[in-house]
Amino acid sequence: MSNIVEIDNVMKTYDLGEGIKVKVLRGVDLKIEKGEFVTIQGPSGSGKTTLLNVIGGLDKPTSGKIIIDGTDITPLNEKELARFRREKIGFIFQAYNLVPLLTALENVELPMFFAQKLSDKEIRERAIELLKLVGLEKRMNHKPTQLSGGEQQRVAIARALANEPAIILGDEPTGNIDRAMGQKVIRLIQDLNETLNQTFIVATHDPAVAKASKRALYIVDGKVVEKPPKEYVEAPTEKLTRERRQLLLAELGWLKTSLTYLKEKKTEMDPQRYRRTFLGYKMQLERIKRIIKKYHALESEKN
């Protein structure tokens, strides 16, 4: 079986209450083979993030089936999904999501600590190798704030690779960085795809990213199609805000899982390092919660 992703008639409907339902995914069928680099385009609000989130087990589809690397993930519970994510999925977010108080090296080491498959020494060695791979071995001991956006994204890519995931999912990975840096990130993804045969699925607005991929797909009317739609209509700003919130919710879910792993590892970790990691996650959680609160306040003002 060479398909690493098999999606069969997946629907996702958001229930907004008071009888209002938003059908975002309306029967997605999609097969992706190991070693593909696939991009998914579509206007804001078309469901790109929703699709990535259900593939990565950050959200559940309303119906349909999702098989990743031979496992049907649709019947899994929260705990099983968390384990699935840790073992099979690498995530690259638009906002990088590096732990602020940890160095680049420590950030890349984290998922390997959680997976508990390698010794501390092996983890260190592999993290250095991965940072070399993304061209950042000289920045190893820098904290995220001491790195440019493009560099932070490359650290995030090294981190995504750490546990040899079946697939790496990227949600607008060049959305926050300038063009030149974005180009570097795209080329890196291309390289890793070629040399490691690493499968990537990337949602993007950026035609340059789509062009670099092996297969460019589109979401049209809640379905995934191979042909571009005739016209792109950019969504109004309100939808962009919703999209931003959706991203934040995904980040929140991901952070919470990471915190759970971290707590499980507490007794085995160097206390100093545990503290810094814990505080780092807390800072991120607080940041995201603050933004979500602000969003809610804006929403209720309108009503």
Contact residues for ligand ADP (CB under 6 A)? Answer: 14, 16, 22, 24, 42, 44-50, 239, 242-243, 246
Burial 170-197 (b: 16+ CB within 10 A, else e): bbbbbbbbeeebbbbbbebbbebbeeee
Q: Which helix (H) or strand (E) holds 71?
A: strand 71-72
* Residue positions counted in the chain: 303
Half-sphere CA count of 193, side-chain side, radius 13 A: 24
Nearer to ligand ADP by C-beta: 143 or 239? 239
Could you give the 3-state DSSP secondary structure of residue 66? strand
Separation in Å, CA 96 to CA 84, 147, 163, 212, 290: 21, 12, 18, 21, 18
Residue 102 has which token pair? 């940890």
Q: How far is the CB of 245 from Mg ion (least distance, A)?
A: 10
Q: How far is the CB of 48 from Mg ion (least distance, A)?
A: 5
Q: How far is the CB of 40 from ligand ADP (least distance, A)?
A: 8
Residue 283 has which token pair? 């800072």
- Name the one residue in this structure whose structure tokens are 């795809």: 193
Report d(CA 6, CA 30) in Å as an integer.
6
Report d(CA 112, CA 91) in Å as an integer.
14
Residue 198 touches which of Mg ion, ligand ADP, none (Cβ within 5-8 Å per kind):
none
Residue 14 touches which of ligand ADP, Mg ion, none (Cβ within 5-8 Å per kind):
ligand ADP
Residue 42 touches which of ligand ADP, Mg ion, none (Cβ within 5-8 Å per kind):
ligand ADP
Nearest to 60 by CA among 81, 42, 85, 83: 81
Q: How far is the CB of 296 from ligand ADP (least distance, A)?
A: 12
Residue 1 touches which of ligand ADP, Mg ion, none (Cβ within 5-8 Å per kind):
none
| Residue from 39, 46, 49, 94 in contact with Mg ion (CB under 5 A) | 49
Report d(CA 109, CA 193) in Å as an integer.
21
Nearer to Mg ion by C-beta: 12 or 48? 48
Nearer to ligand ADP by C-beta: 49 or 174? 49
Nearer to ligand ADP by C-beta: 65 or 245? 245
Residue 47 touches which of ligand ADP, Mg ion, none (Cβ within 5-8 Å per kind):
ligand ADP
Q: Are 127 and 112 in contact (CB under 8 A)?
A: yes
| Residue from 59, 109, 243, 251 in contact with Mg ion (CB under 5 A) | 243
Residue 242 touches which of ligand ADP, Mg ion, none (Cβ within 5-8 Å per kind):
ligand ADP
Q: How far is the CB of 223 from ligand ADP (least distance, A)?
A: 13
**Which amino acid, residue 165?**
P
Nearer to Mg ion by C-beta: 48 or 126? 48
Residues of this chain that interact with Mg ion (CB under 5 A) are: 48-49, 243
